[in-house]
A and B are shown apart, each in its own frame.
Chain A
Amino acid sequence: MPTTDHVVDKRAFQEWVHAHTGDLLRYAKSRVREEDVAEDLVQLAFIAAWEGRKKFAQQSSPRTWLFSILKNKIADHWRKAYRDPVVHGLEPVDAAFFTGDDRWAPGHIPVEWGLDGPDQEEQMQRFLADCLQQLPTHWRAAVEMKYLKEKNAEAICQELGITATNYWQQVHRAKVQLRECISSKMTKNHH
Chain B
Amino acid sequence: MHTLLLSCRKAAALIERRSFAPLPAGLSVQLWMHTRICAGCKAFQHQSEVIDTLLEQRGNGVDAVSTAPLEQRIITAINDKN
Contacts and interface: CB of A to CB of B under 8 A. Distances in A.
B50 A115 contact: yes
Chain B binding surface SS class: helix
A22 interface: yes
Contacts of A98: 7-9
A51 B81 contact: yes
| Secondary structure of the A contact surface, majority rule | helix
Given A103-B7, A172-B12, A172-B17, A43 B73 contact: yes
Contacts of B77: 43, 46-47
Contacts of A175: 16, 48, 51
A103 B39 CA distance: 12
Contacts, number: 129
- For chain B, which range describes its interface: under 10, 10 to 19, 20 to 34, or 35 or more residues? 35 or more
Contact of A26 (B1, B7, B48, B65): B65
B43 A111 contact: yes
B61 to A, nearest CB: 7
A113 B44 CA distance: 10
A163 to B, nearest CB: 12
A179 B48 contact: yes
Contact of A110 (B44, B63, B75): B44
A101 B7 contact: yes
Contacts of B63: 26
Given A47-B81, A103-B1, 8 more contacts: A25-B70, A28-B59, A43-B77, A104-B8, A110-B43, A128-B51, A129-B58, A153-B20
9 contacts: A21-B74, A25-B67, A26-B61, A30-B58, A31-B59, A47-B77, A94-B12, A102-B7, A125-B58
